[in-house]
Amino acid sequence: MEPADLLRGQPEGRTRETAIRRDAAGRWWNGADRIAHPNLTRSFDGWVDRAEDGRFCLSNDINWAYVAIEGPAYFVRSARVEPSGAVELELSGGRQERLRAVTLRHGADGALWCDVRDGRCPARFDTHAVAQLAGVVGEDARGVYLDLGGERVYPPSAGRAG
């Protein structure tokens, strides 16, 4: 079921709006109150998605609600290069995804980004994940590239990458 379908038939007075937000450093808040419970924040990190209207939401198997996200929707915590050249990503919240190389880009600050969740959410590589890609990074006359399975991928500059 799509998030927008859940809105149809909502009892009057109920809303999917919340005061929940995640700041650019990855900390969760409910209004002015910090959400610090590690299991809850890990769950929230893994539930970030986009609603049908393009807004960020937290979505699990039971329910969903709108949230505000500052910075990337996901953080790439680690990147494992397979012998085939495929790259397996571990995202914030413990999600695992295969990198879609065509979504790679770098922001104005030089950070590496990609899209996850079937292209719905931007993810920013942390320094640990970038370091794990060192064996496939090179540079030639065209610029910096990643050699993924014999194919050179040149991440374009996206300015504001998120």
Angle at 50 between CA 102 and CA 161, to 5 degrees: 45
Would you say 24 and 70 are in contact if contact means Cβ atoms under 8 Å apart?
A: yes
Q: Look up residue 10 and give its DSSP letter.
A: P
pLDDT of 10 > 80? The answer is no
Q: In the chain, what percentage of residues exceed pLDDT 90? A: 64
**Exposed/middle/buried for residue 94 (C-beta within 10 Å: 0-12, 13-18, 19+):** exposed
Q: Is residue 1 part of a domain?
A: no
At residue 158 the predicted structure's pLDDT band, cuts being 50, 70 and 90, is confident
Q: Which of 36, 51, 69 is the last residue of a domain?
A: 69
Q: Is residue 50 part of a domain?
A: yes
Q: Is residue 104 part of a domain?
A: yes
Domain that holds residue 128: 74-157
Tokens for 43? 């769950």
Same domain, 109 and 134: yes
Same domain, 116 and 82: yes
pLDDT of 83 > 50? The answer is yes
Q: What is the mean pLDDT of the chain?
A: 87
Kindly give, in sequence order, each residue whose CB lies less than 8 Å from that of residue 116, ignoring residues fewer than 6 positions away.
Answer: 73, 74, 89, 91, 95, 97, 122, 123
Same domain, 65 and 134: no
Domain count, the chain: 2
Would you say 123 and 72 are in contact if contact means Cβ atoms under 8 Å apart?
A: yes
Same domain, 78 and 102: yes
* 145/155 Cα distance (integer angstroms): 7
More confident residue, 161 or 61: 61
C-alpha radius of gyration, the chain, whole number: 17
Same domain, 85 and 152: yes
Same domain, 65 and 87: no
pLDDT of 37 > 80? The answer is yes
Q: Is residue 93 part of a domain?
A: yes
Please give the model's pTM, rounded to 2 decimal places: 0.82
Q: What are 117-156's pLDDT values in tens digits?
A: 999 999 999 999 999 999 998 889 998 888 988 889 899 8
